Amino acid sequence: MAEPLLPSGFDELEQFVEYWVRDTNNERWKQRSKASMEEIQRFYDHMLARAEDAIAHLDAFPLDDMPPASERLFKLLLAIAHVAMAVEMHGQPIAHRAQLRSDLQMTQGPWPFGGSSKEQSKRDLEETQ
C-alpha cells in the first residue's frame, strides 16, 4: 500500500496537498497570490474546518521532527495563514492596488519550514534580478 499523503482522518484534505504543501513561507505566499479566489476559498473552507484537529494532531510531535504525513499536514496548516490574507482581509487574492512581483521575497521565514537559509535565499533573490 502506498504511503498515505496525510495522517489518517485527514483524507479529505489530500486534494490540497499538491498545490498548497510548500517548503517555505515565500512559496506559500506566492502560491496563494497566483491562485484564483475560488481555489483560495475552497482550501480556506476545508482547512479551517479541520484546523483545530490538525493542531491537536501535530502537537504530539516536536516542531521540526514529524513523520512525513504529519509534516505535510503542518505545511498545509501553515498555508491557511496566507489564504486568510486573501479571504479575511482583501476579499481578493492579493492586496488592493498591489502587484505580485518576483523582486519582493521573504528570504528568511519563521522556523521551521519558513524559509531557506540566508545564503540560499540570497541566491534566490539574485536569480530573480
Partner 1 sequence: MMNDMVIGANLGQGGAKDSFTTALGLGTGPVPVDSYISPEFFELERTRVFGRAWLYVGRTDQLPDADSFFVKKIEVCKASVLVMRNAAGKVQAFHNVCSHRGNLVVTEQSGNSKLHRCAYHGWAYGSDGSLAGVPDQKNFFQLNKKECGLTPIATDVWEGWIFINLQREPEISLKEFLGPYAESYAGVPYGEGHETLVIEARFKANWKLIMDAFSESYHVPAIHPATLAPGFSHPVHNKYARPLSGNTFGLHSAWSAYGNPEYAPPPNSEVERLACKVDTGGLLGSDVNDEVLRLRAHPAINPTKETCWSADVTAIFPNFNIDYSTGGYWTHEFWPISRNETHWILTIRIPKANSVRRRLQLEHYAARWCEIVLEDVTNCESIQKGLESGAKDVMYLQDGEFMIRHQQEILRKWVNAQTVAEAMK
Write down the least CB distance from residue 128 to partner 1, Å.
Answer: 8
* Stretch near partner 1 under the rule CB under 8 A, chosen from 1-9, 10-18, 25-33, 34-42: 25-33
Cα–Cα dist 41/14, whole Å = 16
Q: Which of 3, 59, 65, 127 binds partner 1 (CB under 8 A)?
A: 59
User: Which residues, at least 6 apart from 92, have a Cβ–Cβ distance to it below 8 Å?
Assistant: 37, 86
Packing angle between helix 25-34 and helix 68-84, nearest 10 degrees?
60
Residue position matching grid coordinates 498545509 = 76
Q: Which is nearer to partner 1, 2 or 22 (CB)?
A: 22
Cα–Cα dist 120/55, whole Å = 29
Q: Among candidates 21, 33, 36, which has minimal Cα distance to 104? A: 33
Q: Which of 14, 15, 53, 63 binds partner 1 (CB under 8 A)?
A: 63
Binding stretches for partner 1 (CB under 8 A) = 25, 28-29, 44, 48, 51-52, 55, 58-59, 63, 74, 77-78, 80-85, 87-90, 94-101, 103-112, 114-115, 118-119, 121-122, 125, 129
